[in-house]
Every structure is written in structure tokens, then in C-alpha cells.
Structure 1
């Protein structure tokens, strides 16, 4: 599982890429990305999630986003029109609800 907390932006790109690389090397049937504690993500997050989804599909693996999604993260996926592209396992109400 990849767990993201706080904010993810372009300053976090090297660390974020290391986590994706480790998940890709593991080649598990499913990769879960816990976004429940992520309060902000920019285009780096969106791009990384879309690329990971594409890689997983190409390899016959599943990518699951674990929520509940914080409002800013939900908005990023919703406004970009990509929210329906992902499988989101909502674990309950958002902490800030």
C-alpha cells in the first residue's frame, strides 16, 4: 500500500516516484493507494495516478484508491473528469466532514 499524507506537489516528485517504482517492482495483483489523509494534491498527483492506472491495466493488475477522499482531492479528480476512471474504496466519512 502507498499511503499519502498532508500535501503532494511537485516538490515531492522524487519521493513519490520511489514509492511508485517500489510498487511496480513488487508486481502485486493489486496496489492500494491510501488518500484518506491527503489534504492537497496537484497535477503531479493526478498525472501519477493516471500513469499508474495505465501501467496496472497494461499488466493486468488493479489500482485502488482508498478514501474517504478529502474535499480538495475529490475536487481534483472530479474537475479533471477522472474520478470515474478509478476504483475508490471509501472507508467511511471524510475526517473533516
Structure 2
């Protein structure tokens, strides 16, 4: 793994499922995110926010987990929002792959909770 040890936590804030991700995520650690997204979609609150503001690095396996999570949330008729601000490497991953046009990305957790 590259850099900081990842931490994925799930909480609820005013009826919104919030998944906080901090540290660097890669193919070895992305399953933690996948598990949290599957759990959130299985018990939809109407909206799930994935807070990536504390993530310095993410690879394609993380992007795959997010796309899978978004698909599960659509099937559950729940909103799926990514909260930033995104760190440079994560922003670049979204930009290069075109996924910045696929996901709803808010500038902050506060904005993601209400958009």
C-alpha cells in the first residue's frame, strides 16, 4: 500500500448514511469500502454520502467499488453522493477516467448532505 493506513467508518447523520474514508486506498484495501457500500445499500436511508476528503490516493479498484456502490444505490432507489474536497490524486483519477461526470460530487460533506 502507498502512504497512510486506510480507515473506513460508517455513521448516520440526520438520516443520511455517511461513509468516511481516510488514508490511501488501493486494491488491497478497497474491499473495506465495498463492504461499507454494500451494507449502506442493503439498508438504504434515502441517501449515502461517501466522504473522500481525507483520501490522498485511490486507484482503479476504488473507482470500481464506487461504481458498484452507485449501482446498488440506484437499485435501492437511494441517492449516492461523493463528498470532497477531493485531494489532487483522487481528483485526477476521476478526471482522467471521466468518472467526474458519472458521480454526483459535492465540494464538502455539508453540501453533500443537502444536495
Which TM-score applies when normalising by structure 1? 0.85
Please give the secondary structure, in 2, of the residue aligned with 1:19. helix
When structure 1 is superposed on structure 2, of 16-25 and 1-10 the one drifting more is 16-25
Please give the secondary structure, in 2, of the residue aligned with 1:31. strand
Query: In structure 1, what is the equivalent of residue 43 of structure 2?
Result: 26
The answer to whether 1:80 aligns with 2:79 is no
Identify which of 24, 37, 58 aligns with 1:7. Answer: 24
Q: Which has the higher contact order (CA 8 A, sep 6+)?
A: 1
Higher helix share: 1
Query: Over aligned residues, Cα RMSD in angstroms?
Result: 1.6
Point out 4+ residue stretches in structure 1 off by more than 3 angstroms. Answer: none
Unaligned runs of 5+ in 1: 93-97
Alignment partners' CA distance in 1, 2:76 and 2:42: 12
Alignment partners' CA distance in 2, 1:22 and 1:45: 16
Please give the secondary structure, in 2, of the residue aligned with 1:8. coil
Kindly state the Cα deviation for residue 79 of structure 1 after the two structures are TM-superposed.
0.3
